[in-house]
Structure 1
Amino acid sequence: MSTLTAFARAQAVAFGQAQPIATVRHLHVHEHPLILIPLAMAGEANAPLAALIGTDRSAPRLLVVAQPRNRDDRFAFFAALAEILVPYLDSFATETEDVPVDRGKDVRQRYVDAPQLWVPNPGGVDFLRMLGRSTRFRTTDGEYPVPAGVPLLGRWLTFFAGTAEIPGSCLLLNAVQALGLHWATGQSSAEDAQLGVQLAWIESGAEAAREAENGPVAGPATDPEFDNRVLAPLIERSAPELPGVLRDLLLPTWERMWRVLDLLRRLPVGERVASRWTSDKDAFTAFTQYVADGGAPQPRRDGAVAAAARLQRLENAAARYAVQRAFDDPLVLAEYRLTGAAFAGTVTLANPDRVDDSGKRPVLRPRIMVRTTEEVRVEPGTSLTSPARPAQKAKVISVSPAGDGRDVLLELSGGMGRKLVAEPGSVPQVGERLVLTTLSEAYRPGGTLPDPAETPWTHGGPPSIEPDLQ
């Protein structure tokens, strides 16, 4: 937990109300998302019991497994889920747009929009991941055939569960983490996992949160007392009132999910959210085409090289997401100012026309002086970036004491045009307030990974050949 988040939690306790920890919304909220609230049977590995699903707030559809231990009932549930989910996904695979590639020399196609799935909590994401794993390898013929839509459902659920691991991706979101990204309650992160309590902290305060503690859970696990007292007898005698009981259990969470979306939509969206959603559209387009071309189901587990490549992508995405959030949100950037990775100051001197002619050709290298009263923990030669001009680099020339603060001399490069005269507004002027940080959105090239055939047999490569001792 960061310092500011800890302080916000303390304030939430003191005031009895959740506190904002973001000034903008850091995720994309779709105009037509699909809400999915899964419910699993306790004590059974990935045995679905019910799901409330839909895109219309006033018309959710309930899917129920009357006998969760019955294989036919479970796969009928999967087929019904596929009949709802797959057409929703297909509705986005229609209209395309041209995207320039290779510096405008060519174009590729991308769908103009992508679907978005919402579940209540991280447990819902894990449930979909396991559901995808248990269905994507099923066959529609042979000894144990399944309905045609079941394997396709499994592949899509596996795809969405994989995107949920990518920081900043918004194809599959859970309400608990989305709220926790923007508000801090007066309770622990573990207690925030109960959606009803977390939402009550934000909407009404601590008193309402205490009352919500005894409300229905948001799944996928059910309350043990409910299982023993209500659910088990109904399943045992295949009671016709089971769907009604489950609907009453899930409807409060259904309504809360839409209230979560309402809360998030009231926040102004961050500037870089659109670029991340564009990446999501690229991922959706690529997987749609892969499925249409008859691509094989995702493997049960990655090989050594594929796993390393995926880890590298996740690390790069996490670093990029952290920078983008900080550049979009002054409250997030304040965390870095506390640790010395950023500082704010005022421009006191500026030489926008300075040209460095010490090299083979002259280049524009303006210099500015920034006065700050904050701690500056950077050495000369460090490259800094301002969120106001992310394409421009500021090299630290010197840091010197000045009264009750420090003077930081910076040399600027990039983001000023291609001439020896800076474009208007590209160089900070005297009196301008700047925030400078070591964070950067610059491209981070990945490491070189070996071909799978060149790895040792312990990592999936060819087996070693022992010498013939005869």
Structure 2
Amino acid sequence: MSLMVTLARAEAVVAGRATPLATVRHRHLSDRPLVLVPMTAAGEAAAPLGALVGSDRDRPRLLVVPQPRDRDLRFAFLAELAAEVLPYVESYTEDGGTAEPPAADSGAEPAQEPCADAAQLLVPSRAGVEYVRLLGRSMRFRRAAEDDPAAPYPAPPRVPLLGRWLSHYGERARVPGAALLLSATELLARHWATGQSTVEDQHLGALLAWITDGAAAAERAESGRDADGQLLVPPADPATDPAFDNRLLAPAVARYDRARAGVDPAAARPAEDAVARLVESRLRPTWDAVWRSYDLLRALPPGAHVPGRWLGDRWSFTAHRDRLRAGEPPQPRRDDAVTAARKLAQRERALAELDAQEALDDPLTMAERRLAGQAFACRTEAVEMAYSEGRRPMPRPLVTVVTDDEPHLEEGARVYRALPGGKTQRALVAGYGGGRVTVQLQDGMGRSRAPAEGSVPEPGDRAVWTLFEHTARRGPALPEPEDTPWTHGSGSAAPLWETPDPMTAEDFL
């Protein structure tokens, strides 16, 4: 946790209300997101108990598994979930009309055109993101009856397809700055600081209360209970409250089991409806809280670099759509060495670029970097024209600026500033001391002897120079999986212990 965030949390404690951490919204939010509020049975990671799902805040679809241990009921739940999610996702799979190049971390081919937009999923908390990933893993390897009639416990149609989409969304959520799958708690915690711990911030009701009503309301939302011992604000995680499980849910499920064992559909229906009402009573407050969070975040203006990151999400969405259309097999359980290395490099680049872009978009975030000595705000004091040596002298102006910050500078260090149009200008530190910094501009001035208009600061101009680069450097190219040795997971050569010894004359008597 940085010093600025710590200070913001301390101010929130004193004020009794959350403190803003950003002046802009750092993630893309769709005009029509699909909200998924899942609930799992206690004791099993991916055993669904119910869910509220939909893109209309006033008409969510309630899905319930009255007996989570019943495989048939769980498959019926997954089939209903696929019937709700897949039409929404597939409504975004049409080709777009732009031919912009894909982002470096998208995995798409340069000759493609991205979809005009991409489907976005919102869940209440970080645990909900992990649940989506686990749910996708549990479904994508299932065999449907039409694909393999001899498969034991065949999955309903389209369930494996939903698993592949959810797996992709869960994997994409691990890329810093990606917005295909977002959690409300992570979004709110990025833009507001509360007076509680980061673990407590995962309770959506308490976090939302800190922002809208204050600390007292947050305490009631986190721990307040009614006369029956039930939480006033149910937890927003897929897991449920033990008091709800033991006192309400378990007896209702037991009544459903007894009614179904009596082989009387008329008696089983009321018992199933009772379980559904209990599940909905826990899910509906969280559903409303997710949409209130959405409204709060949509009120913030988007950062300048948000559309560019969303373009990378669109390319990722398009690439996965094309893999499905090409009939490629499901994502493997474990990546080979080259794929894992590429994913790691991709996420490292995305994290470096996200940190830089958020600072460039947001004065509050840039203030944190200035306090750490990684940037400095300044006013241009003087400009002295100079040129490089060589057959074709190029402009290398010396710009002297005045700053009240204390950057960690040394002579010869590189500094960077943002130019209009998303370009970055580099400079070398030629001198530093007494609150004055002299930098020599290195690029961004055009190819002629006279610098392009606006590329050299004028006396009195204000700017922010950073010690960090605005774009991440790409690492060395990695070999293809078939070109790696078997010790690194190559699929082209079998391991020695799986290769039979060659037959010789000594093998025959």
TM range (shorter): over 0.9
Distance change in 2, residues 1:72/1:321 (3 Å) = same
The correspondence for 1:447, drawn from 470, 476, 479, is 476
Q: Quick one: distance in 1 between partners of 2:214 and 2:100? A: 49
Tell me the equivalent position of 1:41. Answer: 41
Tell me the equivalent position of 1:291. Answer: 324
Tell me the equivalent position of 2:427. Answer: 394
Q: Kindly state the Cα deviation for residue 451 of structure 1 after the two structures are TM-superposed.
A: 4.0
Distance change in 2, residues 1:304/1:207 (3 Å) = same
Q: Quick one: distance in 1 between partners of 2:242 and 2:436? A: 63
- Tell me, what secondary structure is at the counterpart of 1:88? helix
Q: Quick one: distance in 1 between partners of 2:428 and 2:243? A: 63
Match status 1:202 vs 2:234: no
Q: Report the residue type matching 1:310 in the other structure.
A: K
Q: Quick one: distance in 2 between partners of 1:181 and 1:414? A: 34
1:29-60: CA deviation from partner (whole Å, max 9, x where unpaired): 11000000000000123100000001111101
Tell me the equivalent position of 1:423. Answer: 452
Match status 1:116 vs 2:120: yes
Check whether the contact 2:418–2:425 (CA below 8 A) recurs between aligned residues: no
1:421-465: CA deviation from partner (whole Å, max 9, x where unpaired): 122222111112221111222351223334434545443244358
Q: Quick one: distance in 1 between partners of 2:300 and 2:292? A: 13
Match status 1:217 vs 2:217: no
1:313-356: CA deviation from partner (whole Å, max 9, x where unpaired): 111111111111011011111111112111122111113x5332
Q: Quick one: distance in 1 between partners of 2:372 and 2:440? A: 23
Greater Cα offset, 459-468 or 420-429:
459-468
The correspondence for 1:301, drawn from 327, 330, 334, is 334
Distance change in 2, residues 1:100/1:19 (3 Å) = closer
- Tell me, what secondary structure is at the counterpart of 1:368? strand
1:99-128: CA deviation from partner (whole Å, max 9, x where unpaired): 0559xxx96322111111000001101111
The correspondence for 2:381, drawn from 315, 331, 348, is 348
Q: Kindly state the Cα deviation for residue 398 of structure 1 after the two structures are TM-superposed.
A: 1.6
Tell me the equivalent position of 2:363. Answer: 330
Q: Report the residue type matching 2:417 in the other structure.
A: S
TM-score (normalizing by structure 1): 0.94
- Tell me, what secondary structure is at the counterpart of 2:367? helix
The correspondence for 2:343, drawn from 310, 317, 328, is 310
Tell me the equivalent position of 1:11. Answer: 11
1:134-188: CA deviation from partner (whole Å, max 9, x where unpaired): 1101111323211111000100000000111001111000000000110000101
Check whether the contact 2:303–2:361 (CA below 8 A) recurs between aligned residues: yes
Q: Report the residue type matching 1:113 in the other structure.
A: D
1:370-396: CA deviation from partner (whole Å, max 9, x where unpaired): 122322312222111123564211211
Q: Quick one: distance in 1 between partners of 2:464 and 2:100? A: 33
Tell me the equivalent position of 2:408. Answer: 377
- 1:103-182 matches, within 5 Å, as 108-141=112-145, 142=150, 143-182=152-191
Q: Quick one: distance in 1 between partners of 2:101 and 2:76? A: 44
The correspondence for 1:244, drawn from 249, 274, 277, is 277
Unaligned runs of 5+ in 1: none
Q: Quick one: distance in 1 between partners of 2:480 and 2:92? A: 36
Q: Quick one: distance in 2 between partners of 1:388 and 1:8? A: 30
Q: Report the residue type matching 1:37 in the other structure.
A: V
Moved over 6 A (4+): 465-468
- Tell me, what secondary structure is at the counterpart of 1:108? coil
Q: Report the residue type matching 1:185 in the other structure.
A: T
Q: Report the residue type matching 1:423 in the other structure.
A: A
Distance change in 2, residues 1:83/1:235 (3 Å) = same
Q: Kindly state the Cα deviation for residue 95 of structure 1 after the two structures are TM-superposed.
A: 4.7
Check whether the contact 1:100–1:107 (CA below 8 A) recurs between aligned residues: no
TM-score (normalizing by structure 2): 0.87
Tell me the equivalent position of 1:434. Answer: 463
Q: Quick one: distance in 2 between partners of 1:87 and 1:359? A: 63
Q: Report the residue type matching 2:72 in the other structure.
A: D
- Tell me, what secondary structure is at the counterpart of 2:114? strand
Give the aligned CA root-mean-square deviation in angstroms.
Answer: 2.0
Q: Kindly state the Cα deviation for residue 223 of structure 1 after the two structures are TM-superposed.
A: 0.4
Q: Quick one: distance in 1 between partners of 2:191 and 2:235? A: 22
Q: Quick one: distance in 1 between partners of 2:94 and 2:164? A: 20
Q: Report the residue type matching 1:384 in the other structure.
A: V
Q: Quick one: distance in 2 between partners of 1:111 and 1:304? A: 30
Q: Report the residue type matching 1:120 in the other structure.
A: P
Q: Kindly state the Cα deviation for residue 306 of structure 1 after the two structures are TM-superposed.
A: 1.2
Tell me the equivalent position of 1:279. Answer: 312
Structure holding more strand per residue: 1
Greater Cα offset, 159-168 or 303-312:
303-312
Q: Quick one: distance in 1 between partners of 2:354 and 2:101? A: 23
Check whether the contact 2:169–2:180 (CA below 8 A) recurs between aligned residues: yes
- Identity, % of aligned positions: 46
